[in-house]
């Protein structure tokens, strides 16, 4: 044994071989440990996780990949949609004076009907010096310019006119692409739901399926709103007619007498109210007078 140790001490090659073997053993231990910790070799609570060489649903990591893939595939469609045509929301605002309010109001309703529009709202108000009406009109975008020209024909004096156009093509295309991606995710969830093996998996997939369906409904609602705003333009119209009221004629003797009686009665009521408001001071004055009277009698 002593001779063997001496030979090892004299031969550095043996020490190198031993060191290499130790490194290989330690590396093998770490490799096995990492493999045992790999998520593909075990199943944990919640969704089932599978290794790459197994056939089965991958719930946790599949959904983000699906969304990314769906959006990337939708990019060429976005380009084609942009080339197909712009999505423009047009709005207009008009304010003008009319000579005859009743006549102009009736003609405006006829004009709106002529260009296939409708009244979204109407707010009429009467004041001492004018009668006015704020009308919100929805009309097909293709008829907007002709409608405005016809409405201006009713103006005695044009106070204000503005036409605005908002390009929502990018938002429209992006919303359509997101809707398609969400629908693809919904189909994948339905496929995963059919393969779910446990009640817990089924409940969690149904929960995520409910969330994605809510997102789909919200996205569809936004698309419907954009389509409606693009298809129908909004016109805010305010018309008014100044009123020249004549001063009232002076009434006769009987009228003035009746008015004087009413004014006198109202004055009496006002005086009674005034006395009621100062009743504490009246009590103080009466108490002072009574006290002064007794003091004077004693003297």
| Three-class DSSP labels, 31-90 | HHHHHHCCHHHCCCCCCCCCCCCCCCCCHHHHHHHHHHHHHHHHHHHHHHHHHHCCCEEE
Dihedral over alpha carbons 10, 16, 21, 24 (to 10 degrees)? 170
Does the pTM surpass 0.75? The reply is: no
Name the percent of the chain lying above pLDDT 90: 41
By mean pLDDT, which of 62-71, 135-144, 184-193 is the weakest? 62-71
Dihedral over alpha carbons 11, 13, 18, 20 (to 10 degrees)? 160
Res. 48: pLDDT tops 70: no
Please report the pLDDT score of residue 57 as a whole number: 41
| CA distances, 57 to each of 176, 195, 223 (Å) | 28, 7, 32
C-alpha 278/C-alpha 134 separation (Å) is 50
pLDDT in tens, 103-117: 999 999 999 999 999
Tokens of 130: 């004018």
What are the φ and ψ backbone dihedral angles of 97, each rounded to 5 degrees? -90, 145
Q: Which of 99, 130, 125, 100 is nearest to 244 (CA)?
A: 130
Q: Which of 82, 88, 113 is nearest to 233 (CA)?
A: 88
Please report the pLDDT score of residue 254 as a whole number: 80
- Going by pLDDT thresholds of 50, 70 and 90, the confidence category of residue 53 is very low
């Amino acid at each position: 044994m002593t001779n063997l140790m001496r030979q090892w001490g004299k031969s550095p090659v043996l020490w190198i071989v031993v060191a290499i073997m130790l490194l290989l053993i330690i590396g093998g231990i770490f490799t096995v440990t990492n493999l045992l910790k790999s998520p593909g070799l075990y199943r944990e609570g919640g969704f089932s996780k599978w290794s790459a060489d197994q056939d089965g649903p991958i719930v946790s990591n599949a959904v983000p990949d699906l969304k990314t893939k769906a959006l990337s595939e939708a990019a060429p469609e976005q380009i084609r949609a942009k080339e197909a045509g712009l999505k423009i929301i047009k709005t207009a605002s008009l304010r003008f004076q009319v000579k005859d309010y009743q006549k102009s109001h009736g003609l405006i309703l006829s004009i709106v009907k002529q260009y296939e529009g409708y009244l979204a709202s109407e707010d009429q108000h009467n004041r001492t010096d004018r009668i006015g009406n704020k009308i919100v009109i929805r009309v097909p975008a293709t008829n907007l310019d002709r409608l405005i020209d016809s409405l201006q024909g009713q103006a005695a004096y044009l106070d204000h006119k503005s036409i605005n156009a908002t390009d929502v093509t990018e938002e429209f295309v992006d919303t359509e692409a997101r809707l398609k991606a969400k629908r693809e995710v919904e189909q994948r969830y339905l496929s995963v739901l059919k393969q779910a093996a446990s009640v817990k998996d089924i409940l969690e997939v149904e929960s995520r399926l409910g969330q994605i369906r809510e997102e789909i409904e919200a996205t569809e609602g936004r698309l419907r709103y954009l389509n409606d705003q693009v298809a129908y333009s909004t016109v805010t119209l305010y018309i008014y007619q100044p009123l020249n009221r004549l001063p009232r004629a002076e009434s006769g003797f009987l009228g003035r007498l009746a008015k004087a009686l009413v004014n006198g009665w109202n004055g009496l009521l006002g005086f009674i109210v005034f006395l009621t408001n100062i009743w504490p001071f009246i009590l103080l004055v009466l108490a002072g007078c009574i006290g002064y009277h007794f003091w004077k009698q004693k003297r």
